[in-house]
């Protein structure tokens, strides 16, 4: 369920890629309130069919030959997005933000206030 934008080269053995030829016009801006990410999101990203990222889906890491697990050795399930929003269990959105909307979107990704 990876998305490749603006001509990015995808992994040749991937089974569910989405190639989008447009420029997402990504902007990272730092203000007094924090660091913000802005980008244009294509509706095809929202409609893409994906599955929940889990230890089982990820398999084993190439070099150590070990599975992806939490620090306590329990299985991983990526059911929360970067901003703390619950992911759709049947069809999570690709990328760090669950159901981010369409068109130009802005996300506060880091707070600079203590």
pLDDT in tens, 62-108: 999 999 999 999 999 999 999 999 999 999 999 999 999 999 999 99
pLDDT class of 7 with cuts at 50, 70, 90: confident
d(CA 5, CA 8): 6
Confidence check: pLDDT of 44 > 70: yes
Read off the tokens for 44: 């095809």
Confidence of residue 114 (pLDDT cuts 50, 70, 90): low
Q: Confirm if 33 and 108 have CB atoms less than 8 A apart.
A: yes
Long-range contacts of 85-94 (CB under 8 A, 24+ apart): 87/52, 89/52, 91/49, 91/50, 91/51, 92/1, 92/50, 92/51, 92/52, 92/53, 93/45, 93/46, 93/48, 93/50, 94/1, 94/2, 94/3, 94/18, 94/45, 94/48, 94/50
pTM for this predicted structure: 0.83
Beta-bridge mates of residue 86 = 80
């Amino acid at each position: 369920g990876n998305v490749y934008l603006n001509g990015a080269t995808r992994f040749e053995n991937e089974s569910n890629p989405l190639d989008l030829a447009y420029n997402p016009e990504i902007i990272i801006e730092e203000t007094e309130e924090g660091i913000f990410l802005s980008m244009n999101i294509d509706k095809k990203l929202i409609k893409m069919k994906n599955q929940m990222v889990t230890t089982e889906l990820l398999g084993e890491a190439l070099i150590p030959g070990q599975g992806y697990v939490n620090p306590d050795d329990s299985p991983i399930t990526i059911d929360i997005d970067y901003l703390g929003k619950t992911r759709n269990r049947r069809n999570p959105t690709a990328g760090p933000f669950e159901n981010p909307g369409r068109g130009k979107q802005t996300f506060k990704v880091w707070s600079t206030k203590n």
